[in-house]
Amino acid sequence: MCGIIGVLGSSTAAQEVGQGLLMLQHRGQDSAGILSVDPDFGKFHMHKAMGHVSQVFPSGDSIRRLAGNAAIGHTRYSTLGDVKESDLQPIALSHPVGIGAVHNGNLSNYNELRAELILKRRVFMTDNDLEVILQLFADGYGVASGSTLQRVSAATRAVLKVAEGGYSVVGLLGSEGLFAFRDPHGIRPLILGKRLTAQGGNAYALASESCALTFLGYQVIRDVRPGELIWIDENGMLSSVHVLEKKALPCMFEWVYFSGADSTLEEKSVSSVRLKLGERLAARIRAMPNMPQFDIVAPVPETARPAAIALSENLGIPFRDVLIKNRYVQRSFILNGQDRRKVAVNLKFSVVDSLVRGKSILLVDDSIVRGTTSARLIELLRDHGARQVYFASTCPPITHPCFYGIDFPTPEELIATSNGEEGVAVKLGANGVFYASMEDLSSALGGSSVCSACLTGQYPYPTQESETHA
């Protein structure tokens, strides 16, 4: 997963993009980068490197060098093993026009598309999906005629008609303007905002999540539609073209886990959906013939807190924060490799012993993927004298890999692929496990259609590849 943002029409575009990236840091911590365009010199300025946003851009000066009134930025969480410096974003091409872009997502037919381009004697500088997208875009632009908008629409069509998967792209076409588009099913998020500048003009921003827009003082206009192109020219004129729209299938995992609690996607607040998931789980647990006795409900910080609060309120059982997160340790999932992750999990949480000892605990997390985190946390609570530990997951069982940008492993590694609730409980060392059902998830999302291929195995595209790229 990654966080992306673009700004046009602000004299401090790169600074805004840098601040926006801080608001999107939870979407990826491996690397960060910003590209700006300086029309006076006909030049792209770019800086990208490994590390958190604050490490890559340690001072105001490091960002101020990226001059111009339009800029794009990226923060990366690589879904593919090791992170290579050459794969960092933004990526720029200078032919047939200068194009710089960032993306979030994954193409499920990446290898196929890349092989076709290589047959046409193309050469690649990276192993990044975005480079395939950009080559397709540049080809479409190169052969099109007409106005810039017509050419950018043709370029976007050239991508959308062949690129399968989940992807949101934001880019700069030289200094002519900013383009942004979403995959035909709208699997990955992208949202548009606007603000008035001190000079009375309009500045526009597009970002993965609304929390970045509102933080920067932009008014949220709306989500970009599936398969829609947004084009904002250098004078701040905005155009929208519905290039290739299929059934809207935004990724359900954005609400469950990925997006910030302060964001709203597709007009549904992330926090409210998480509260509803907790309510639904409470109803399910209460309806059990032999509902276990719990003394407290405790969240796995931070994503599961709203759901745990709702569970506590609806079951009438006290809410207690018993796991304290060390905010200076990197998120466990971000480290690649199972062993390093285990070490990080060990370090990440400490336990409030006095609240745990002798208690029957209902521990709540957003999801169970491999089961590594939950097994370790249950063990930790037992080490601190918990009498019983039950585990609730607001996400239904994850049984299939994601090919559209979420780092879910092979079916063999996914704990729910070959285990039912009882089997998972045994593996986790829990007294019992409760998953939200598909109906619970659907009702929490107001019944709207979502991509839930990882839960059902029903993929929106026929091609599935095991390799994933960020």
Contact (Cβ atoms closer than 8 angstroms) between residue 10 and residue 69: yes
Quick one: how many helices (H) and strands (E) in the chain? 16, 21
Using the rule CB under 6 A, is 427 a contact of ligand 5GP? no
Supply the minimum distance, in Å, between the C-beta of residue 303 and ligand 5GP. Answer: 5
Q: How far, rounded to the nearest angstrom, does the alpha carbon of residue 100 sit from its chain's CA centroid? A: 21
Using the rule CB under 6 A, is 430 a contact of ligand 5GP? no
Cβ-count burial 292-305 (b if 16+ within 10 Å, e if not): eebbbbbbbbebbb
Supply the minimum distance, in Å, between the C-beta of residue 256 and ligand 5GP. Answer: 9
Supply the minimum distance, in Å, between the C-beta of residue 372 and ligand 5GP. Answer: 4
Contact (Cβ atoms closer than 8 angstroms) between residue 236 and residue 8: yes
Supply the minimum distance, in Å, between the C-beta of residue 185 and ligand 5GP. Answer: 20
Contact (Cβ atoms closer than 8 angstroms) between residue 259 and residue 209: yes
181, 231, 255, 333: residue in contact with ligand 5GP (rule CB under 6 A): 333
158, 170, 285, 406: residue in contact with ligand 5GP (rule CB under 6 A): 406
Supply the minimum distance, in Å, between the C-beta of residue 1 and ligand 5GP. Answer: 6
**What distance in Å separates the CA atoms of residue 337 and residue 68, rounded to the nearest whole number?**
40
Supply the minimum distance, in Å, between the C-beta of residue 94 and ligand 5GP. Answer: 34
**What distance in Å separates the CA atoms of residue 270 and residue 257, rounded to the nearest whole number?**
9
Binding-residue total with ligand 5GP (CB under 6 A): 18
Answer yes or no: 2 catalytic.
yes
Question: E-assigned strands of 118-201?
Answer: 165-173, 177-182, 191-196
Residue number, 317 or 428, with CB nearest to ligand 5GP: 428
Using the rule CB under 6 A, is 374 a contact of ligand 5GP? yes
Using the rule CB under 6 A, is 30 a contact of ligand 5GP? no
Using the rule CB under 6 A, is 372 a contact of ligand 5GP? yes
Best CA proximity match to 57, nearest among 33, 30, 74: 33
Using the rule CB under 6 A, is 369 a contact of ligand 5GP? yes
Q: Which stretch binds ligand 5GP (CB under 6 A): 34-42, 278-286, 363-371, 441-449?
A: 363-371
129, 164, 407, 440: residue in contact with ligand 5GP (rule CB under 6 A): 407
Using the rule CB under 6 A, is 255 a contact of ligand 5GP? no
Q: Is the dihedral of CA 16, 18, 73, 25 positive or negative?
A: negative
Cis peptide before 96 (omega within 30 of 0): yes
Token readout for 194 is 């606007």
Catalytic residues: 2
Residues that bind ligand 5GP (CB under 6 A): 257, 300, 303, 331, 333-334, 365-374, 406-407
